[in-house]
Amino acid sequence: MLDKSVIGGEQRTLADGNAIPLLGLGVWQVPDGAECERAVRWALEAGYRHIDTAQAYGNEGSVGQALRDSGIPREEVFITTKFYPARRDPAAEIEGSLRRLGVDQVDLYIIHWPQNGPTWAWPGMEAARERGHTRSIGVSNFSAQELDEVIAIAGTPPAINQVQFSPFEYRRSLLAACETRNVAVEAYSPLGTGRHLSDATVARVAEGVGRTAAQVLLRWCLQRGTIVLSKSTHRERIEQNAQIFDFTLSDDDMATLDALDVTGGTDRARERKWW
């Protein structure tokens, strides 16, 4: 039986004082329309209270529709969207996001990637926050160095850095740098967009704890201190991926999974950039 209060209730307090649920549904690559609306609806029914979208995903409209249809009060669901950095002005672009989502304010607005450098967009992010269009601001795909460059010019520092993170991409130095600077890490693609699910080591750990490979990979992120974003468009998987607060991986299992890292514990956010 799904304990919805636990899924919705497990939160972390960010540096700016705002609380964020530790598990979110990500909707990257889910087309706008019925498929996205269904995934968000199923997640909300399963107890998720955190949805992660982006201007670049093109599906903010469906996220907003599903949120309204759910009847869940707006303030009970944490909504993230991301500034598409091929555009110029984050403070102007968030107005389109709010319109598409059908909300007055998002909970978190982050720079999707550091295209054309890490600092130029930050004043616009701060302006969006000062206007009340977002409660928190942050970044995504920023290395430790890029994070420091933003912090150096920031009035309000980023509360979040959302990066690709999993046992195979265990960016130990980046995580440590974020922790030192009181920047929370959000793990995206924790299943390696599905690739990590078939790994033999993950399967062995999963068998040992009587859980699925997906649950083990998501749980590893939580125990390494990150917020975790999981993506699925299948109802049973959305439900399964929420069952990660009722078991613990042992120190031995964590060490076994840590050893899968192929990044050398990097402080970089990406091995290859697309921008």
- Binder among 31, 33, 117, 194 for ligand A2P (CB under 6 A): 194
Maximal C-alpha separation, the chain: 51
Burial class, 252, CB count within 10 angstroms (exposed 0-12 / middle 13-18 / buried 19+): exposed
Q: From CA 68, how far away is CA 73, in angstroms rounded? A: 9
Query: Which range touches ligand A2P (CB under 6 A), out of 43-51, 73-81, 183-191, 256-264?
Result: 183-191
Number of residues that bind ligand A2P (CB under 6 A): 17
State which of residues 53, 65, 189, 243 lies at the interface with ligand A2P (CB under 6 A): 189
Q: Which of 48, 57, 109, 188 is catalytic?
A: 57
Residue window 196-215: x/- pattern of binding to ligand A2P, with contact defined by CB under 6 A: -x--------------x-x-
Distance CA 140, CA 109 (A): 10
Kindly state the DSSP code that residue 76 receives in the 8-state scheme: G
Phi, psi dihedral angles at 110 (to 5 degrees): -130, 150
Of the residues 53, 136, 226, 230, which one makes contact with ligand A2P according to CB under 6 A? 230
Please choose, from the candidates 79, 12, 8, 66, the residue with its C-alpha nearest in 3D space to the C-alpha of residue 35: 66
DSSP string, 83-110: E-TTSS-HHHHHHHHHHHHT-S-EEEEE
31: which DSSP letter? Answer: P
Active site residue 170: no
Of residues 87, 172, 181, 237, which one binds ligand A2P by CB under 6 A?
237
Candidates 241, 243, 263, 266: give the one binding ligand A2P (CB under 6 A).
241
* H or E element that contains 152: helix 144-153
Kindly state the smallest distance separating residue 191's Cβ from ligand A2P, in Å: 3
Q: How far is the CB of 84 from ligand A2P (least distance, A)?
A: 19
User: Which sequence positions are flagged as catalytic?
Assistant: 57
**Contact residues: ligand A2P, CB under 6 A:** 189-194, 197, 212, 214, 230-234, 237, 240-241
